């Protein structure tokens, strides 16, 4: 398994993060925020998106939603949208702003709108068959989000969400691949055991550990073979942080949340000399973000979502401020002029 990531959008304009989580059998596509930069994705990429995660609904983070909706309203499989409180109502209003009288006989598509609240997830459903007129509420059990921040998980990855302060709730997201277990081929060779179908049972956690396997003149339990042959590989971890005040409380939460992340994609709206402006507008500076990356021991920091107030000639200064603290900092690869 692996995660392929791409920051889309030009410097000083709308930005978003597009992820492909690649397993041996399938690819899951995730999009974080949906500004006008979604036009950089191909039609096939947009229709492949399984989950749209919105940090909040300021215009630069949602301006491309009509494009997303146009490609996916009748694609015939569920569409999942995630965001803070009121996201379901706001997305529903966008559907109500369009006339859908011709969609009733097209492919049935279910839009699942998930609101991330401090103590629960609220789910609403829109159906293309109903011309998106009705927003159905699906009750969700409450849970203590100070302990469990996971909002979605399957056999391949999980997504955690953290409510931050942008004068309104803004969601920070962390994506983690599930750890995977593989056969240590060196140990297998040294043991003198011949590969075969039995190895699949060793890897299959649903098989009972007490089951016996005969290898050569000896018999072993699956549990014994697993202890001998299996190695655990940690999956990749990518964090997406955009638009909020990075105060002491936020930093404490995020140091733990993004700890040891492979990639931290984070807004860098302001230079350090404009710290007070950053605080006033509930944003971050490059220097603040670099300190966070350093304390959380991430491998790589990617800065994006830089304020339009700075001419491109000043971007080098923003990058230098971060690199002085956290050398493994860069802008997105497609920002070629930097």
Residues classed as catalytic:
60
Whose tokens are 């990518």? That residue is 238
| Start-to-end Cα distance in the chain | 32
- In Å, what is the CA distance from 276 to each residue of 46, 164, 271, 279? 38, 19, 10, 5
Rounded (10°) angle between helices 248-257 and 286-296: 40
Q: What is the dihedral of CA 69, 72, 154, 116, to 10 degrees?
A: 20
* CA-angle at 132, arms to 55 and 153, nearest 5°: 40
Bridge partners of residue 21, in order along the sequence:
3, 28
SS3 assignment, position 27? strand
Would you say 291 and 301 are in contact if contact means Cβ atoms under 8 Å apart? no
Q: How far apart are CA 162 and CA 5, in angstroms?
A: 21
Token reading at 136: 């159905």
Q: How far apart are CA 75 and CA 73, in angstroms?
A: 6
Of 270, 264, 300, give the one whose Cα is nearest residue 285. Answer: 270
Of 270, 314, 240, give the one whose Cα is nearest residue 3. Answer: 240
Q: How many CA atoms lie within 13 A of 105 on its CB side?
A: 1
Q: How far apart are CA 31 and CA 48, in angstroms?
A: 10
Q: Phi and psi at residue 32, in whole multiples of 5°?
A: -110, 110
Name, in order, each residue with C-beta under 8 angstroms of 141's C-beta and a sequence gap of 6 or more: 120
């Amino acid at each position: 398994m692996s995660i392929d990531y791409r920051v889309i959008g030009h410097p000083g304009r709308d930005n978003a993060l597009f992820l492909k989580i690649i397993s041996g059998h399938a690819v899951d596509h995730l999009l974080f925020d949906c500004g006008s930069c979604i036009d950089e994705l191909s039609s096939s990429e947009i229709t492949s998106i399984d989950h749209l995660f919105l940090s909040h609904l300021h215009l630069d983070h949602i301006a491309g939603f009509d494009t997303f909706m146009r490609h996916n309203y009748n694609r015939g499989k569920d569409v999942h949208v995630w965001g803070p409180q009121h996201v379901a109502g706001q997305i529903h209003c966008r559907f109500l702003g369009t006339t859908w009288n011709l969609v009733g006989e097209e492919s049935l598509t279910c839009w699942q709108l998930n609101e991330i609240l401090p103590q629960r997830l609220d789910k609403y459903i829109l159906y293309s068959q109903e011309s998106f007129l009705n927003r159905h509420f699906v009750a969700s059990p409450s849970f203590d989000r100070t302990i469990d921040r996971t909002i979605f998980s399957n056999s391949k990855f999980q997504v955690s969400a953290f409510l931050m302060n942008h004068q309104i709730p803004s969601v920070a997201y962390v994506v983690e691949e599930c750890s995977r277990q593989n056969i240590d081929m060196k140990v297998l060779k040294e043991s003198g055991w011949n590969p075969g179908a039995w190895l699949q049972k060793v890897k299959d956690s649903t098989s009972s550990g007490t089951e016996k396997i005969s290898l050569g003149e000896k018999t072993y339990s699956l549990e014994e073979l697993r202890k001998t042959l299996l190695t655990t590989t940690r999956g990749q971890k990518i964090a997406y942080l955009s638009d909020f005040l990075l105060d002491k409380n936020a930093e404490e939460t995020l140091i733990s949340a993004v700890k040891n992340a492979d990639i931290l994609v984070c807004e860098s709206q302001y230079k350090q000399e404009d710290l007070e402006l950053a605080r006033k507008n509930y944003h971050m500076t490059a220097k603040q973000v670099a300190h966070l990356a350093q304390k959380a021991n991430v491998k790589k920091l990617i800065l994006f979502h830089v304020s339009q107030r700075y001419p491109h000639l000043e971007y080098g200064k923003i990058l230098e401020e971060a690199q002085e603290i956290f050398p493994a900092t860069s802008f997105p690869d497609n920002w070629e002029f930097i």
